[in-house]
């Protein structure tokens, strides 16, 4: 079934059918209704790919992250998909995995699907070749990054100031008399480096204990957090408080502290559902993921309507500490 059949059934020109399909306002309501009824009668479904090429828009957004099984990425994808669908966009999700091998093929696949824009969550691309390809692609396909450090001159960057957020968290603990603050972290991607910098700057600024024993890089798991805290306690290391780069690590640390009757403040990061489910409920640094994703969708809408030419290329939001029972 083609638009030729629709035009014949509705007794209108092919151009008129095309204008109706493309949402043109130049067709009268009466004629539009004739075309719509003809499509219903003939069970006609427009080909979105062909229509997209005609309109130079597929209304499809590519979303890239390393692992949608991770709570942070899963939440981001969910927020993006729900908001994009409310604006009649579909998404194509691409999970690159966490290896350091070249992932240029994932970008090429999205490009070949004629996506209208690509949203990248975090920093899934590591190699210089991948990043160079990303910069080149940004000249022809709008690229929006969320908490990345690719610095694309022709792209859009949306981030949360997690460095200042962790810095202020250290200050808040110091104000409560905490001098030996443990920091548990897993990844040293862009977000991870920002958090680590914030911790180190906060410790230096408040003249706190700088012992290397208090700084632990561990795998992202409950078991790893348990092992790290258990080791500190076994070695009689003074612990006045614990900050972690992820809520999952904070939950593991808090569980071990409770088992050993060591009650000190514990603060996580990302303000995930884990923070609300923990016992006691977990204070966590909110990296404002809802605002970051909303801004990304706003940019997609502006790009689609052709109103993005005068918009800023960089957006930065303040992190906020969500207080619960653990501090």
Are residue 129 and residue 209 in the same domain, yes or no? no
Beta bridge partners of 161: 318
pLDDT at residue 48, rounded to an integer: 54
What span, in angstroms and rounded, lies between the C-alpha atoms of 86 and 81? 9
Q: Which domain holds residue 76?
A: 60-161+289-318
What span, in angstroms and rounded, lies between the C-alpha atoms of 317 and 103? 29
Q: How far is CA 307 from CA 114, 302, 313, in A?
A: 20, 5, 13
pLDDT digits (tens, 9 = 90+) for 293-322: 999 999 999 998 888 888 899 999 999 999
Give per-residue burial for 175-206: e unless 16+ CB within 10 Å, then b: eeebebbbbbbbbebbbbbbbbebbbbbbeeb
Place of tokens 């942070």: 72
The number of helix segments (H) and strand segments (E) in the chain equals 13, 12
Question: Into how many domains does the chain fold?
Answer: 3
Output the domain CATH number for residue 40: 1.10.260.40
pLDDT digits (tens, 9 = 90+) for 200-256: 999 999 999 999 999 999 999 999 999 999 999 999 999 999 999 999 999 999 999
pLDDT digits (tens, 9 = 90+) for 27-68: 898 998 998 899 888 887 765 555 554 445 568 999 999 998
Residue 51 in any domain: the answer is no
Q: Is 121 helix (H, G, I), strand (E, B) or coil?
A: strand
Task: Identify the sign of the CA torsion 9, 10, 16, 21.
Answer: negative
Are residue 144 and residue 169 in the same domain, yes or no? no
Are residue 157 and residue 245 in the same domain, yes or no? no
Nearest to 73 by CA among 101, 103, 102, 93: 93
Please answer whether residues 71 and 274 qualify as being in contact, where contact means their C-beta atoms are separated by less than 8 angstroms: yes
pLDDT at residue 46, rounded to an integer: 64
Are residue 235 and residue 209 in the same domain, yes or no? yes
pLDDT digits (tens, 9 = 90+) for 155-173: 999 999 999 999 999 999 9
Q: Is 159 helix (H, G, I), strand (E, B) or coil?
A: strand
Place of tokens 């899963």: 74
Beta bridge partners of 244: 184
Residue 126 in any domain: the answer is yes
Output the domain CATH number for residue 203: 3.40.50.2300
User: First and final CA of the chain: distance in angstroms?
Assistant: 65
Angle between helices 14-21 and 29-41 (to 10 degrees): 90
Q: Is 284 helix (H, G, I), strand (E, B) or coil?
A: strand
Are residue 109 and residue 218 in the same domain, yes or no? no
Which residues contact residue 128 at a Cβ distance below 8 angstroms, ignoring those fewer than 6 apart? none
Strands ordered across the beta sheet of 90-95: 90-95, 60-65, 117-121, 143-146, 156-161, 314-318
Nearest to 241 by CA among 261, 222, 267: 267
* Average pLDDT along the chain: 91
Q: Which two tokens mark 222?
A: 């409950």
Are residue 174 and residue 193 in the same domain, yes or no? yes
pLDDT at 147 over 50: yes
pLDDT digits (tens, 9 = 90+) for 110-146: 888 888 999 999 999 988 899 999 999 999 899 999 9
CA torsion 206→289→116→68, rounded to 10°? Answer: 100
Angle between helices 29-41 and 3-10 (to 10 degrees): 120
């Amino acid at each position: 079934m083609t638009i030729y059949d629709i035009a014949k059934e509705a007794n209108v020109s092919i151009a008129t059918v095309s204008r109706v399909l493309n949402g043109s306002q130049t067709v009268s309501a009466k004629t539009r209704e004739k075309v719509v009824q003809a499509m219903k009668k003939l069970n006609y479904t427009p080909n979105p790919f062909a229509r997209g090429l005609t309109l130079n828009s597929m209304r499809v957004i590519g979303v890239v992250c390393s692992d949608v099984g991770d709570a942070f990425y899963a939440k981001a994808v969910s927020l993006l998909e729900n908001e994009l669908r409310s604006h009649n966009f579909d998404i194509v999700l691409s999970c690159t995995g966490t290896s350091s091998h070249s992932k240029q093929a994932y970008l090429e696949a999205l490009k070949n699907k004629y996506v209208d824009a690509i949203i990248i969550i975090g920093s899934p691309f590591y190699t210089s070749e991948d990043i160079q390809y990303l910069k080149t692609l940004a000249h022809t396909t709008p690229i929006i990054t969320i908490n990345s450090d690719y610095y694309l001159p022709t792209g859009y960057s949306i981030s949360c100031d997690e460095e200042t957020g962790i810095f202020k968290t250290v200050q808040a603990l110091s104000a409560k008399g905490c001098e030996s603050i443990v920091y548990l972290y897993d990844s040293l991607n862009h977000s991870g480096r920002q958090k680590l910098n914030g911790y180190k700057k906060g410790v230096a600024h408040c003249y706190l204990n700088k012992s290397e024993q208090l700084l632990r890089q561990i795998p992202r798991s409950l078991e790893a957090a348990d092992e790290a805290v258990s080791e500190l306690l076994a070695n009689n290391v003074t612990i006045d408080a614990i900050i972690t780069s992820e809520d999952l690590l904070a939950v593991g640390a808090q569980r071990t502290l409770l088992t050993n009757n060591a009650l000190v403040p514990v603060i996580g990061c990302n303000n995930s559902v884990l923070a609300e489910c923990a016992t006691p409920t977990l204070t966590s640094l909110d990296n404002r993921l809802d605002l970051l994703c909303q801004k990304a969708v706003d940019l997609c809408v502006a790009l689609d309507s052709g109103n993005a030419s005068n918009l800023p290329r960089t957006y930065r939001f303040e992190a906020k500490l969500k207080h619960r029972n653990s501090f």
